[in-house]
Structure 1
């Protein structure tokens, strides 16, 4: 059963896509009266969809290295010479719960920049996993809380990592970010190489997003959250070595 927050998210998604039915318009107007931020969120998301449409950025598929393929094969009992597929990168954690419609604006968001928006992925998010395994850094599937520091004034950012066979997942909760500003989430390897996990948009409501980068946790030494155009990172975390 969907929560009220789920319903608001679905109605806002429909408003951005201009697919509201007359009954839904009346329902959304009711939420507007009790939630003043709804109109601002609709405007932010429409602006984002417009910016992505203008950017014409293409989705990038990254083929796994031979070493990564062998590790995946060993953990899944799949022959290592099997045909490789693309490694998932920067996936948005969730989409609006109302799946009855095909949201035209979601397609460019997912394929262009993998942006995590507070309303879309920040309301009524289920737990990461029902019963996550425990273990030290690098344990597959375990939730690893990390110490995030150097946050921007007024911002509150918490993050965790989850090691996977295909890469590293970053789970980010943030509030107080500049509304409308774009923030990139970057994982840095032990050799200094940078791996993008995607981007998120500053929102008036708390943000919860789960983003993925094609670098193994054992090879990751640092996480940075960077505001596009800023000289210094908004937040950083030096990671324990596995």
Structure 2
């Protein structure tokens, strides 16, 4: 998997958004001459952006219980995101990078605990990895999934190979009342995919994880234990 540094990733994002300055375009052209794979990454992200144009995004206010839990914390966890050149580029790149599931190998604002300090415990334990057993994976594909409960929602961590190149796979968490919460999407690639995506729903309110093929609607899914 290609892993560009932060500057290369920003230039790729700017190219897809059409917001590079002349100097930035020259800088990107020099990198493209050295690294031909950059053109392929730009093309894939442009296809993904086109796929997402018809999607709707819902902003949900946290319920009272979640708000109380967050405001009651003694301190907030740090989040590190590399600043981008313009606000409009930032609005584009963060959803697209999340949706592309780090296809570029980007490191996106996730505060990880130091090595050896990852919490352990039953499903719903804050910060602990919960392994998910997916059924009905697409033919020829292998998907490994974990969930992590946070005070601000539920994180899904996915590793996938064998997904059809260029096809969009939606990642959905289903609540106990049937409400669906989008965690974004991943784009099938000919390189291994590593995803870390998030949905604004508490782990104790989630009963199912689904990964949906945008062409056929076929679903790989896992029923989750109650918390």
Distance 1:51 1:109, change over 3 A: farther
| SS of alignment partner, residue 145 of structure 1 | strand
Deviation at 1:163, TM superposition (A): 0.7
Please say which of residues 57-66 and 7-16 is displaced more in the overlay: 7-16
| SS of alignment partner, residue 119 of structure 1 | coil
Distance 1:29 1:201, change over 3 A: same
Deviation at 1:168, TM superposition (A): 1.1
Partner of 1:238: 223
- Structural mapping, 1:1-242, within 5 Å: 5-6=4-5, 9-17=9-17, 19=20, 20-32=24-36, 37-52=37-52, 54-55=53-54, 59-73=57-71, 75-76=72-73, 99=83, 101-102=85-86, 107-108=91-92, 110=94, 115-120=99-104, 122-123=105-106, 128-130=112-114, 131-233=117-219, 235-242=220-227
Please say which of residues 138-147 and 4-13 is displaced more in the overlay: 4-13
| SS of alignment partner, residue 200 of structure 1 | strand
Question: What TM-score, normalized by structure 2, do the two folds share?
Answer: 0.76
Deviations 1:150-194 (A, max 9, x none): 211221211111111232111122222122211111111223322
Question: What TM-score, normalized by structure 1, do the two folds share?
Answer: 0.72
CA–CA distance in structure 2, aligned partners of residues 203 and 104 of structure 1 = 27
Distance 1:65 1:117, change over 3 A: closer
Deviation at 1:101, TM superposition (A): 3.2
Distance 1:177 1:76, change over 3 A: same
CA–CA distance in structure 2, aligned partners of residues 104 and 179 of structure 1 = 29
Distance 1:129 1:30, change over 3 A: same
Distance 1:12 1:67, change over 3 A: closer
Deviation at 1:207, TM superposition (A): 2.1
Q: Which runs of 5+ in 1 are unaligned?
A: 79-92
| Superposition CA RMSD, Å | 3.4
Please say which of residues 170-179 and 106-115 is displaced more in the overlay: 106-115
| SS of alignment partner, residue 103 of structure 2 | helix
CA–CA distance in structure 1, aligned partners of residues 95 and 41 of structure 2 = 21
Are the counterparts in 2 of residues 176 and 204 from structure 1 also a CA contact under 8 Å?
yes
